[in-house]
Amino acid sequence: MERIFLSAPDISGRERQLVEEAFDSNYVAPAGPMISKFENDIKAYTGFENAIALTTGTAALHLCMIVSGIGKGDGVWTSSATFMGGVAPAVYMGAIPSFVDSDISSWTMDTNVLAEALETANKKNNLPKAIVSTDLYGQSCDLDAIDALCQQYDVMFFSDSAEALGAIYKGRHAGKGSKAAVLSFNGNKIISTSGGGMLLTDDKEFADRASYFSTQARQPFLHYEHTELGYNYRMSNISAAIGVGQLEMIEDKVERRRSIFNRYKSELGQFEGVDFMPEPEGQRSTNWLSCMTVDPNKTKGSSGDIIELCNQEQIEVRPMWKPMHLQPVFDNTEFFGSGLCKTLFETGLCLPSGSGMADDQQTRVIETILRVLKA
Ligand SMILES: Cc1ncc(COP(=O)(O)O)c(C=O)c1O
């Protein structure tokens, strides 16, 4: 039986041809024309003024931390419902992470909880230096609300948009309005460069510093001269060629993922106890992953039962992100909220959502889940 993956790469455009062009030009290096083209194309698509192509999304966020001077003992608050790559860069810098709960109406960072926590921290003279909010499963966080709070308390705001290329918030691209946003192009993202990331910002000085730190912090001399420590984080020209081809198809991919989500919702969402990720008004989620929750008190089987049966049937279904405040590595770390993100983890599922998934494959997924829900 052919395995159905959660989110397999979907190479359906000019990627091969563009990689061949990159080979023909002999720019088989972390420099070359495909990198500038990919950066320019992403700028045009997202509306950001500066874009820096990097090896990973994690590297992009690490550069954000470096450029903004996050250091030992600084507070950095992130969404608890996220992937480790959105948190670890702050910890690399010696910062102390704290985690913020999800909101019932969006599943992204709860801005009421955030407002309360900032007010309390302000009174204690213990404000964080930065907030990193995750755009979850293809959906933007409440950019305006978080931005307003960050301005009120003079806290830097970064958007972890790794999962949200193509997401729209009130007419603008996800992350736009934050100090900087990061994207990921790893193998399971809406577009993949086989591995890669991007730093987006409207602040030219910030972009220049990030670019400098991404190339070993080299001073402008022919010999190699360094006054600071940098990193080797630039994307390769070959990866960028794949990215250029992938980006040409982005709107098709968004449409396909949204239609996959809508089909799941219409065929599974009528069961009592089954709910799908809500999309707040004024937003366009890409539905990078289709996510649903299953209340075992109201349904005939739990999310665990669904995962187990799907696995037997060669269908990759996973729980939603395990909240960071429940990760053993972050034992005793501060958490703000009542724990909705824990409930989402305990009852939530990520369903196969790849834009290359065929209709009959989705039928197989739905029929397998129905065996549990109708048991
Ligand atoms: C929310 C989030 N943040 C950060 C990352 C890290 O991106 P990368 O895997 O490109 O380092 C990912 C994806 O893996 C992610 O989903």
Distance (Å) from CA 304 to ligand 1 centroid: 25
The one-digit pLDDT tens for each residue of the chain (375 residues) are 899 999 999 999 999 999 999 999 999 989 999 999 999 999 999 999 999 999 999 999 999 999 999 999 999 999 999 999 999 999 999 999 999 999 999 999 999 999 999 999 999 999 999 999 999 999 999 999 999 999 999 999 999 999 999 999 999 999 999 999 999 999 999 999 999 999 999 999 999 999 999 999 999 999 999 999 999 999 999 999 999 999 999 999 999 999 999 999 999 999 999 999 999 999 999 999 999 999 999 999 999 999 999 999 999 999 999 999 999 999 999 999 999 999 999 999 999 999 999 999 999 999 999 999 998
Question: Do 199 and 328 fall into the same domain?
Answer: no
Distance (Å) from CA 361 to ligand 1 centroid: 26
Question: Do 223 and 257 fall into the same domain?
Answer: no
In short, whether 101's Cβ falls inside 6 Å of ligand 1 is no
In short, whether 290's Cβ falls inside 6 Å of ligand 1 is no
Ligand 1 atom at shortest distance from the alpha carbon of 184: 10
Question: Do 237 and 272 fall into the same domain?
Answer: no
Q: Give the pairing type, strands 290-294 and 348-351.
A: antiparallel
Output the CA torsion sign for 102, 105, 108, 111. Answer: negative
Q: Please check whether residue 25 lies inside any domain of the structure.
A: yes
Q: Please check whether residue 353 lies inside any domain of the structure.
A: yes
Question: Do 106 and 211 fall into the same domain?
Answer: yes
Question: Do 243 and 255 fall into the same domain?
Answer: no
Order of all β-strands in the sheet with 348-351: 274-276, 290-294, 348-351, 318-319
Q: Please check whether residue 5 lies inside any domain of the structure.
A: no
Distance (Å) from CA 85 to ligand 1 centroid: 5
In short, whether 134's Cβ falls inside 6 Å of ligand 1 is yes
Which CATH number does the domain housing residue 174 bear?
Answer: 3.40.640.10
Q: Please check whether residue 7 lies inside any domain of the structure.
A: no
Which CATH number does the domain housing residue 270 bear?
Answer: 3.90.1150.10
Question: Do 46 and 189 fall into the same domain?
Answer: yes
Question: Do 66 and 124 fall into the same domain?
Answer: yes
In short, whether 58's Cβ falls inside 6 Å of ligand 1 is yes
Task: Say what angle helices 359-373 and 250-268 make with each other, to 10 degrees.
Answer: 30
Domain tally, the chain: 2
Question: Do 178 and 93 fall into the same domain?
Answer: yes
Which of residues 226, 247, 268 is at a domain's end? 247
In short, whether 86's Cβ falls inside 6 Å of ligand 1 is yes
Backbone phi and psi for residue 159, each to the nearest 5 degrees, phi listed first: -110, 120
In short, whether 160's Cβ falls inside 6 Å of ligand 1 is yes
Which of residues 188, 223, 247 is at a domain's end? 247
| Model confidence, pTM | 0.98
Q: Which domain holds residue 83?
A: 15-247
Question: Do 68 and 106 fall into the same domain?
Answer: yes
CA–centroid distance for 241 within its chain:
22
Q: Which residue in this structure is represented by tokens 């500038």?
A: 36
